[in-house]
Amino acid sequence: MIESNRLKKRTILEYSPILQLRRNHGLEHATLHVLAEKNLNQRFAGYSDFKGFWIVGEVQTEELVHAIEEALSRLRKGDYRLAVHPNCGTNFATAGILAGGVASLTMLGSEKKLKDKLERIPFAMTLATLAIIIAQPLGLLIQEKITTTGNMGTLRVESIRKIDQGAFSTHRILTRSA
């Protein structure tokens, strides 16, 4: 009999380059959570790509190394909630797409006269507001299921390099999976 694992089809999210990006994104978020726990009054930002991620904000390299190590350790122990962040661009994009989409739809079918379009604005605003309310949990779900993963697999950090950018500092973190 054929094993059920052989029959399981992989989704596009499980293919190497995309999985690498999702892991980097999850580790970026986890690192931002750990940094925020230790630096309550500091602001940080991050950006992930296929090679690793960037952390922007005033943090010493040694402190960042410890934050990444803690984040990776906590993810490996199953603390997958760290891979999802409330200030992720996925959340903002979800809200923008939904709010802009429903606002645009309210204008379909309106007459060409400005007065007719202006009369629809309260309806457009109401639907856009509802879309933003719906987008909050939806953006988090999209992160959890699509744009990030807390399962780090064989991901490891290869290098961390500080790049001074005038008024703020940036760190480039390169990762690799076996």
Shared domain for 81 and 23, answered yes or no, is yes
132 burial (CB, 10 Å; 0-12 / 13-18 / 19+) is: middle
Categorize the per-residue pLDDT at 7 as very low, low, confident or very high, splitting at 50, 70 and 90. low
Write down the pTM of the prediction. 0.89
Whether pLDDT at 149 is above 70: yes
Q: At what angle do helices 121-142 and 89-107 cross, to 10 degrees?
A: 150
- Percentage above 90 pLDDT, the chain: 77
Shared domain for 95 and 141, answered yes or no, is yes
Residues 137 and 91: beta-carbon distance below 8 Å: no
Categorize the per-residue pLDDT at 1 as very low, low, confident or very high, splitting at 50, 70 and 90. very low
Average pLDDT score over residue span 138-164 = 96
**pLDDT score for 62:** 96
Shared domain for 50 and 75, answered yes or no, is yes
Q: Count of domains in the chain?
A: 2
Mean pLDDT of the chain: 92
Shared domain for 139 and 154, answered yes or no, is no
In a domain, 106, yes or no: yes
Residues 47 and 171: beta-carbon distance below 8 Å: no
- Six-digit token pair at 150? 């807390």
In a domain, 140, yes or no: yes
**pLDDT score for 52:** 98
In a domain, 2, yes or no: no
Shared domain for 75 and 133, answered yes or no, is no
- Percentage above 70 pLDDT, the chain: 96
In a domain, 8, yes or no: no
In a domain, 171, yes or no: yes
Whether pLDDT at 5 is above 60: no
Shared domain for 70 and 98, answered yes or no, is no
Q: What CATH number is given to the structural domain containing 38?
A: 3.30.980.10
**Per-residue pLDDT tens over the stretch 89-142:** 999 999 999 999 999 999 887 778 888 889 999 999 999 999 999 999 999 999
3-state secondary structure of 110: coil
Structural domain for 54, as ranges: 13-85+148-176
Whether pLDDT at 146 is above 80: yes
Shared domain for 76 and 153, answered yes or no, is yes
In a domain, 4, yes or no: no
Shared domain for 103 and 160, answered yes or no, is no
In a domain, 3, yes or no: no
In a domain, 6, yes or no: no
Categorize the per-residue pLDDT at 18 as very low, low, confident or very high, splitting at 50, 70 and 90. very high
Shared domain for 115 and 32, answered yes or no, is no
